Amino acid sequence: MKQQQRWTAAQIPDQHGRVFVVTGANSGLGLETTRALARRGGHVILAVRDERRGRQAVAQITAQQPGANLEVRRVDMSDLNSVRAFADRLRADLPRVDVLVNNAGVLAPPRTLSPQGHELQFACNHLGHFALTGLLLDLLAVGRDPRVVTVSSVNHRQARMRFDDITGERGYSPMAFYNQSKLANALFGLELHRRLTRAGSPVRSVLAHPGYTATTLPQSGSVGLWRVVLGRIGNPLFAQAPAQGALPQLYAATHPGVEGGEFIGPDGLAELRGAPKRVRPSSTASDPEIARRLWELSERLTDVRFAFPTPVES
């Protein structure tokens, strides 16, 4: 992969005519991703749980960029019924989606179950995005340079899949289950790439992670200890700004040289901060057998099956 030295958002190509769906777009990485895409002319659909905050985000961006092509649509990524309703509305209103940015997430909450009974972080960070991608795959397949960008974390390297206790009923640790959800993102993105490639689909599946970025996630849902460690201590001392942390997913979404199956992260020490570069997933994330097992579990839990095109015979 060829890339320019110290890539910045100023190098995003013109995006006029392209349609982006960004989950969790009203704050943090999602807001900065939306802002940068709108600046380059993209039509961005802010997929948000709180429509009021989504409208506030739109007002903030349009105050700086009059005429920005933005719209707010509600979806709760932890609720599969909400995800399906969101996808149905998009399918009714749009002929295509060019890029889906699977960005929304929750971080280290107390053990909580989704409306369908799944552990909240696994539900929001992974299952909701698995379902949304599958439900929009046909719209993506007819898109212009279509991509699915799934946002993982450097923390995926510390994780394992707890297939024997996926909801944390027998033992729950807020950060361990966050890490598991980010490993699930990485496994999903790489397995999606393998399946798209086998099917001869034009859609590219790309992974990204933001390093250590100062977002509102620790304050919005984390249990007390992690709210202090990650938010009040870690963010001021070590974290980079959200605009910098969003660069890997912006690179993954827009750079013409990005290939399916690549993982984009920061180029600094331990991938905690810096400009976008290609990074390596963990050996667990790259394991096709673990990915297959997760994929089949995700199909059962979401009741979503991906409609891949039939490979063209040579």
The catalytic residues are 178
Angle at 49 between CA 43 and CA 51, to 5 degrees: 65
Question: How far apart are the C-alpha atoms of 179 and 156, rounded to whole Å?
Answer: 5
Query: Which residues are CB-contacts of 132 (< 8 A; sequence separation ≥ 6)?
Result: 23, 75, 77, 83, 86, 87, 100, 102
51, 83, 121, 300, 314 from 77: Cα distances, Å: 14, 6, 10, 17, 40
Residue 100 dihedral angles phi and psi, to the nearest 5°: -110, 120
